[in-house]
Structure 1
Amino acid sequence: MKAVTWQGKGTMTVEEVPDPSIQRPDDIIVRVTSTGLCGSDLHLYDPLAPYMEAGDVVGHEPIGIVEEAGPGVSALRAGDRVVVPFNLSCGSCWMCTRGLHSQCETTQNREHGTGASLFGYSKLYGQVPGAQAEFLRVPFADSLPIKVPEGPTDDRFVFLSDVLPTAWQAVEYADLRSGDTVLVLGAGPIGDMCARIAIHRGHRVLVVDPVPERRARAASYGAEVVPLDDDALLQVQQLTRGRGADAVIDAVGMEAHGSPVAEGMSNVVGLLPDRLAQPLLQSVGVDRMAALHLAIDAVRRGGTISVVGVYGGAMDPMPVMELFDKQVQLRMGQANVRHWSDDILDLLMEPEDHLGVESFATHHLPLADAPAAYADFRDKRDGMVKVLFHP
C-alpha cells in the first residue's frame, strides 16, 4: 500500500509499505477514505525527530471502511464505516472506565513515561503505524472505532478522530459559565474549532492569531479577533473591562518553527545521535513558551487556563508565583476521545451543520501531495488551515 512516511527531519515521502494484517482476534483492517494532516504532525516533522525512525508511517485522523474483522470482533463487520480515534484505548482498564482514555493503562508507554499509544506518533507514543495510508490496522475494534452511518460526506464525521474531541475537551476544561468570555490563542484547526464550539454554546469568544486569513475565518463564525502583536494583551484587557478573559485556551503549544531560539535549539538537538538527543529533548526541551505566558497574563484573577496545544520536553521556567497570586486553575492533556465522542456524534447527526464541519477543511488532496502539504502547512501558505488526504 501507499503511505506517508517520515524519512528524516523535514522530510516526508509517500512510499510503498507492507499492507497491515490482522494480528489479534479483536483487530480490524480499515480502508482509509479520508485522513487529516494535524498540527501535531508538524512536531514529528521537526522537534520530535530524535524519536522517529526512517520509514515510520505517520498520521492519526482517519475515517474509512472496514475491510476485514478478526474472529474476536462482534461490534463491526466488513463494509461498516468507522472513524478511528487518534489514541489507542482499550475501553476497559481503570483509566478508560474513568473517562481518561488518553491514559489507557493497556497501551501506556512506560519506557518513556508517557500515556496511551497514538497512531503514527513516534517512539514516545508506541511507534504504531499511522493513518496517512491506504489501510490501517485498528485494535480493540469492539470499543475503539466510532461507527458512523453511510450517506453524509467524510467531512461530516472525520473530525471525530481528533479535532472535534480535542477542541470539545478544551472547552469543557475551560469551565465556562453563562456570560463568560473565553480567549482562544491560535486559530489553527484546533483553535478554530474551540471557538466554534464555544460560540455554539453561547459564549463570547476572542481569538488571537498572527495570520489575517485565519482571523477572518474565525470572525466569520462570530469571534472577535485580535492580531498577534505587541498590543495583543492590551487589546484583550480593553475588551474585558481590564480584568482579562474568564478563561483562556492555549491552542498553540510547541511551535518551534516560529521562535528563532527554540528553532536553533531544535537544530542543535537534531544533530546529536538519538541516544543523546532523546533525553536532552525531554530534559532541556525546545518549547516556545510565548503562548502559555500570554495565556497566564491574559486570564483574569480566579480564571481558568485550558492547554490543548501539545508541549514536549521540559519547559522554560514557569511563572508559578503569578499563577498562585492570580489563583489560576490550569487544566491540560491529550483528548480522551471516546469519553466525548458519543455526545459529539449526536450533534453531528442533527440536520444542521452546527460547527461547519462540512466546510472546515480548506484543502482536499491526494495522498501523493502530502510532502508538499506538510511544508505548506508548516509555513501557513495558500490559506491552509486543515488538510484532508484521500488515499
Structure 2
Amino acid sequence: MKALTWHGKGDIRCESVPDPKIEDGRDAIIKVTACAICGSDLHLMGGFVPTMESGDVLGHECMGEVVEVGRENSKLKVGDRIVVPFTICCGECRQCKWGNWSLCERSNRNGKLQAEQFGYPGAGLFGYSHVTGGYAGGQAEYIRVPYADVTHLKVPESLTDEQVLFLSDIFPTAWMAAENCEIKPGDTIAVWGCGPVGQLAIRSCFLLGAKRVIAIDTVPERLALAREAGAETIDYAEGKVQETIIELTKGLGPDAVIEAVGMESHGADTMAQSLTSNIMSHTISMERPFALNQAILACRPGGIVSVPGVYVSFSPVAMGAFMNKALTMKTGQTHMLRYMEPLLRRIEKGEIDPSFVITHRATSLEDGPDLYSTFRDKKDGCVKVVMRPHG
C-alpha cells in the first residue's frame, strides 16, 4: 500500500509499505477514506521528536471503513464507518476506567522507554515515534487499529468525512483546552495560535460561554478566520502583545489563556521575548516556548493557563511569573473518548461544522510531501490539509 513515511528532518516521502495485518484478536483493519496533516506532525518533520526511525508511517488523524476485524472484537463489523482517535486505549486499566484515556497504562508497547523520559508511560499514539509505541500512522491507504473495540467512534452516514474527520484529534483537543479554562459567563479568554486547534478552540470557548476571545497570531488568513468567529485579534509580529492585551482588557487581563502553539513557537513581543531569551540563556533546550511564556505573562493573577500545544522535552518556563501570580496550568494529551461522542452530537445538531478549517485537499497521497511543506511554511493560505488516499 501507499503511505507517507518519515526519513529524517525535512524528509517526508510517499512510498510503498507492507499492508497492515491483524496481530491481536481485538484489532481491526481500516481502509482510510480521509486523513489529515496535524500541526504536531510538523514537529516530526522538524526533527524535534526523538525515537523516530526511517520509514515510519506518519499520521494520527484518520477515519475510514472497517475491512477486517479480529476474532475477539465484537464491537465492530466489516463495513462500519469509524473515526480513529489518535490515542490508543485498552478500556480496562485504571486510567481508562477513570476516563483519563490518554494515560492508558497498557497501549504503549514501548512504555518503559517513555517512562525513562516522563516517569510513567502514557497511551500509545498512532504515527508518533517509538517512544509512544511505534505504531504505524493513518496517512496511508490502510491502518491497523489496536484495541479497536475501544479505540473508535462510529459515525453516521448522514455526515461527510470532512465534517467528522477532526473528531480524531483537533476538535476534541480544542474543546478540552477550552473546557480546562473553566469558563464562566462574562469571561475573557486569550488564545495563542490561530492554526486548526486554535481556530476550533476559539469557537469552543464561545460555545462554552466566553464573552470575549482574543486571538494572537501573525498569519493574515488565520487572523481573518479568527475574526469571522467573533474573536478580537492581535498580530504578534507588531511586538506589543502584552501591552495590547492590557489595553483591551482595561488592565484586568484575560481570565484564562490557551497556548495552542507548542514547542516551535516564535517570539516578537518585546517583553516576552526578553523574558524567554533570558531564561534560555541559562539553559539548553531544543524547544522554543515563546508563546507559552507570553501566555503566562498575559494571564491575569489567579487565572488558568491551558496548554494543548505539544512539548516533548525540557522547556525553559517562566516559573517566577507563574508562581507569583498564583496561576493554574492544565494540560495533557486529549482524553479523546471523553469528548468524541458528545462533540459528534454537536456536529449533528448543526452547532458547529469543523470542516471550515480545511483549505487544501488532495485525492492522492503522492501530494503529501509537498503539502507538508506548504502547511509548514503557511504558503497559499494553508490552514488545514485533508487527503483521500483512495481518491
**What is the TM-score normalised by the length of structure 1?**
0.90
Residue segments in structure 2 that go unaligned for 5+ positions in a row: 116-120, 269-282
Match of 1:129 in 2: 136
Corresponding residue for residue 388 of structure 1: 386
Task: Please state if 1:355 is matched with 2:349.
Answer: no
Q: Deviations over 1:28-60 (max 9, x none)?
A: 100000001000001111133542111100000
Q: For the residues of structure 2 that align with 1:378 and 1:116, how far apart are their CA atoms? A: 27
2-structure distance, mates of 1:195, 1:359: 13
- Residue pairs, 1:72-87, within 5 angstroms: 72-87=72-87
Code of the residue aligned with 2:178 in structure 1: it is V
Shift of 1:91: 1.4
Provide the residue aligned with 1:364 in structure 2: 361
Number of the residue aligned with 2:279: none
Task: Check if 1:207 corresponds to 2:215.
Answer: yes
How far off is 1:112 after superposition?
2.2
Letter in 1 for 2:322: L
1:332 maps to what in 2? Answer: 331
Q: Which amino acid aligns with 1:347?
A: R
Q: CA RMSD in A?
A: 1.5
Separation in 2, partners of 1:259, 1:240: 22
Q: Structure 1 counterpart of 2:208, which letter?
A: R
Give the letter aligned to residue 122 of structure 2: G
Look up the equivalent residue of 1:103 and give its one-letter code.
Answer: L
- Is the contact made by 1:9 and 1:49 (CA closer than 8 Å) also made in structure 2? no
**Match of residue 111, structure 1, among 104, 109, 113:** 113
Aligned partner of 1:221 in structure 2 is 229
- 2:150, 2:79 → 1: CA distance? 17
Q: Tell me which amino acid in the other structure corresponds to 1:357.
A: P
Cα distance between partner residues in 1 of 2:284 and 2:234:
32
Contact 2:287 2:314 in 1 (8 A): yes
Q: Which ranges in structure 1 are unaligned for 5 or more consecutive residues?
A: 261-282
Distance, in Å, in 2 between the alignment partners of 1:246 and 1:84 is 34
TM-score scaled by structure 2?
Answer: 0.90
Distance 2:197 2:227 in 1: 15
Residue 373 to residue 224, structure 1, CA distance change in 2 (3 Å): same
Kindly indicate whether residue 136 of structure 2 is the aligned counterpart of residue 139 of structure 1: no
Counterpart for residue 47 of structure 1: 47
Does the 8 Å contact 1:200/1:355 carry over to 2? no
Over residues 145-180 of structure 1, what are the superposed CA-to-partner deviations in whole Å (9 max), with x where a residue is unaligned?
101111321011111100111011101111111110
Map 1:1-391 → 2, pairs under 5 A: 1-48=1-48, 50-108=50-108, 109-113=111-115, 114-203=121-210, 204-228=212-236, 229-255=238-264, 258=266, 284-316=284-316, 318-350=317-349, 352=350, 354-365=351-362, 366-391=364-389
Contact 1:32/1:65, CA 8 A, preserved across alignment: yes
Paired positions, count: 365
Cα distance in 1 for residues equivalent to 2:242 and 2:154: 43
